[in-house]
């Protein structure tokens, strides 16, 4: 005796209908933009990433209609487009807020307070990770490293930096966003909506007055390494590691070459003898099997 799928509690469901098409005027406008994007690349499929930003700028997230559009103009299958759109977290798969508020919870930001900021924002906004407030203004998410560890903990809004945050300042930030009050990033370009950001990421110019001139993103702390690499810092003082500690006056400029019995630091290459403990020498380290 056999049982039907319904009796077994299995629902096969109906096949998903094709994605609805964009209205004619929207598709015409997007096709014009798409041609401009595709013309930048020798291979048209290389334009997929910016095209996904383009369709995201239309509806605030990448819809089935947007993926079908990308497939049509690039001669790809929807499966190929979907594989890319679902791989990168910068493409939203469901309706999102005007402002994507991302709290870095990677190692350094987390220990500096990023975890606390994220937890308090969830409670303050009444949403979980990846969820949007009822007014459609803010989508909250935790994100990986923003390459701004020297300003930790960092919050980003539509990919613009808000550095050195704490729970109180982060709550003021989202309250201002929801109330429509002006909000200025710590550095970088002025803030705009997520749809506007997506169009800029698609490769179209930011036409807001003064936005480009204000878009320098690196702060002083980030530039220290660059100055060191260019030799702009004061020359290092060469100091003997054992004689009296650091001195204000430089020693002889010749680089000191330590003897095999001289202990340097835990970051030095392993020594063959117990030089760190001269009172209890262990002798040369024997190779395994000798």
Q: Do domains 24-87 and 99-193 have the same CATH topology?
A: no
Q: What is the pLDDT of residues 165-217, one digit of tens each?
A: 999 999 999 999 999 999 999 888 889 999 999 999 999 988 888 777 776 65
Nearest to 233 by CA among 223, 242, 243, 241: 223
Cis upstream peptide for 153 (omega within 30°):
yes
Nearest to 251 by CA among 262, 263, 237: 237
Q: What is the pLDDT of residues 135-159, one digit of tens each?
A: 999 999 998 888 888 889 999 999 9
Lowest mean pLDDT among 5-14, 23-32, 50-59: 5-14
pLDDT at 194: 95
Spans of all domains in the chain = 24-87, 99-193
Q: Which residues contact 184 (CB under 8 A, 6 or more apart)?
A: 190, 191
Lowest mean pLDDT among 80-89, 119-128, 181-190: 181-190
pLDDT at 147: 81
Provide the token pair at 187: 């550095």
pLDDT at 233: 64
The fold of 99-193 is Glutaredoxin (3.40.30)
Q: Max alpha carbon distance in the chain (Å)?
A: 96
Average pLDDT in the 67-74 region? 95
The fold of 24-87 is Arc Repressor Mutant, subunit A (1.10.10)
**Distance between CA atoms of 164 and 171, rounded to whole angstroms?**
13
Decide: pTM greater than 0.75. Answer: no
pLDDT at 25: 93
């Amino acid at each position: 005796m056999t049982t039907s799928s319904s009796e077994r509690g299995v629902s096969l469901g109906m096949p998903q209908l094709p994605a609805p098409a964009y209205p004619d005027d929207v598709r015409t406008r997007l096709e014009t933009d798409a041609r401009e994007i595709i013309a930048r690349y020798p291979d048209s499929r290389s334009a997929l990433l910016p095209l996904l930003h383009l369709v995201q700028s239309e509806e605030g997230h990448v819809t089935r209609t947007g993926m079908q559009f990308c497939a049509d103009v690039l001669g790809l299958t929807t499966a190929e487009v979907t594989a890319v759109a679902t791989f990168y977290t910068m493409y939203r798969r469901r309706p999102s807020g005007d402002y994507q508020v991302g709290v870095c919870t990677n190692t350094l930001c987390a220990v500096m307070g990023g975890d606390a900021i994220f937890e308090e924002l969830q409670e303050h906004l009444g949403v979980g990770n990846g969820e949007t407030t009822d007014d459609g203004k803010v989508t909250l998410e935790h994100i990986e490293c923003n390459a701004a560890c020297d300003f930790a903990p960092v919050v980003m809004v539509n990919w613009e930096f808000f550095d050195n945050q704490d729970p109180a300042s982060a709550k003021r930030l989202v309250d201002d966003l929801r109330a429509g009050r002006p909000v200025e990033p710590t550095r970088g370009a002025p803030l705009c909506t997520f749809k506007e950001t997506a169009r800029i990421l698609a490769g179209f110019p930011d036409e807001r007055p003064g936005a480009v001139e204000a878009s320098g993103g690196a702060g002083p702390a980030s530039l220290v390494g660059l100055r060191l690499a260019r030799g702009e810092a004061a020359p290092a003082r060469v100091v003997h590691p054992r004689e009296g500690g650091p001195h204000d006056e430089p020693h002889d400029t010749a680089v000191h070459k330590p003897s095999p019995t001289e202990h340097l630091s835990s970051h030095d290459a392993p020594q063959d003898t117990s030089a760190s403990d001269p009172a209890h020498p262990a002798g040369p380290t024997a190779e395994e099997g000798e």
